[in-house]
Amino acid sequence: MLKKIVIAIDGYSACGKSTTAREVARILGYRYIDSGAMYRAVTLYFLEHHVAVTNPKEVDRALQQIRVSFAVSRKGNSEVFLNGLSVEQEIRQMRVSAAVSQVSTLKPVRLAMVDQQRKMGKHKGIVMDGRDIGTVVFPEAELKLFLTADLLTRAFRRQRELLERDEMVDLDQVIENLMERDRIDSSRTESPLKKASDAHEINTTHVTIDEQVDEVVRLSLSAMVAGRTATS
Ligand code: CDP
């Protein structure tokens, strides 16, 4: 039997991490966790409860009230739940995208999410995507990937996804949001977005989703076989 591994996928906003991670997990029979959805769920709660991110007491109080979990929907997709309610649609709205990177700079928020993410990966057999998965959450992951793509390609893809969810957003607004989030995510003090030294970099600009998925599955199988050789 091949050894179960942890697959960590990091990278900039909208370069196809989630789509790749979900499909790779389905093919390998692994669990898929979208760590960005967790930060988005916390942000949704903060917006709905008017939590002031500059007030540490309010942030701590809010975190005590927040329970983020995942469950598989009737359609077979993994959905994120906030205090027992599916928020999969709401968290993708631009108002959440506009606030999420600021919320994600907060140390107590990160500590709470990373703790939960590590518990989810305890038994391996998991694909997790985000910004700090290969660097902070699972520095020992057997396979680490760092996805990149041109800004315009990412913006077109994100605008199309929003349209599919009936949200019409101008391209320049999408571009501005991606650039601003990349800037905040890369420059924050707590777990900034950066490529782990042992991560494979994949540029997805001219690659189809199927090609991307094939490449990651191939790398995953090599990592599993390497693990088998190392332990046998
Ligand atoms: O899908 P998209 O690339 O737009 O972003 P996401 O994966 O949903 O993540 C939304 C935001 O959450 C990011 O811009 C980061 O600010 C934050 N995040 C983070 O700080 N750490 C993670 N592991 C994942 C997301």
- One pLDDT digit (tens) per residue for the chain, 232 residues: 788 999 999 999 999 999 999 999 999 999 999 999 999 999 999 999 999 999 999 999 999 999 999 998 777 788 999 999 999 999 999 999 999 999 999 999 999 999 999 999 999 999 999 999 999 999 999 999 999 999 999 999 999 999 999 999 999 999 999 999 999 999 999 999 999 999 999 999 999 999 999 999 999 999 999 876 655 4
pLDDT at res. 227 = 74
The strand ranges marked E within the chain are 6-11, 31-34, 68-72, 78-82, 85-86, 126-130, 143-148, 200-203
- What's the number of domains the chain is made of? 1
Distance 118 CA to ligand 1 centre (A): 17
* Position 15, amino acid: C
- Whether 230 maps to a domain, the answer reads no
Pocket lining: 88 vs ligand 1, CB cutoff 6 Å: no
pLDDT at res. 131 = 97
Contact predicate 33/117, CB 8 Å: yes
- Whether 232 maps to a domain, the answer reads no
pLDDT at res. 78 = 86
Beta bridge partners of 11: 147
- Taking CA atoms only, the protein residue closest to ligand 1 atom 2 is 13
Phi-psi region of 202 (alpha: psi -120 to 50; beta: other; left: phi over 0): beta
pLDDT at res. 2 = 83
- Taking CA atoms only, the protein residue closest to ligand 1 atom 21 is 131
Neighbour tally for 94: CB within 10 Å:
14
Pocket lining: 104 vs ligand 1, CB cutoff 6 Å: yes
Distance 98 CA to ligand 1 centre (A): 11
- Whether 225 maps to a domain, the answer reads no
C-alpha span between 104 and 188 (Å, rounded): 9
Burial of 201 per CB tally in 10 Å (0-12, 13-18, 19+):
exposed
- Taking CA atoms only, the protein residue closest to ligand 1 atom 9 is 36
Task: Give the residue, out of 33, 100, 159, 174, with the most ligand 1 atoms within 8 A of its beta carbon, to mutate for a pocket test.
Answer: 100
- Whether 226 maps to a domain, the answer reads no
Pocket lining: 101 vs ligand 1, CB cutoff 6 Å: yes
pLDDT at res. 7 = 98
Distance 129 CA to ligand 1 centre (A): 9
Contact predicate 132/144, CB 8 Å: no
> Is this prediction's pTM over 0.85?
yes
Q: What is the CATH number of the domain that holds 93?
A: 3.40.50.300
- Whether 15 maps to a domain, the answer reads yes
- Whether 75 maps to a domain, the answer reads yes
pLDDT at res. 228 = 67
Pocket lining: 132 vs ligand 1, CB cutoff 6 Å: yes
> In the chain, what is the greatest distance between 2 CA atoms, to the nearest angstrom?
55
Place of tokens 């790779």: 24
- Taking CA atoms only, the protein residue closest to ligand 1 atom 6 is 36
C-alpha span between 111 and 76 (Å, rounded): 30
Distance 39 CA to ligand 1 centre (A): 7
Range of the domain at 57: 6-211
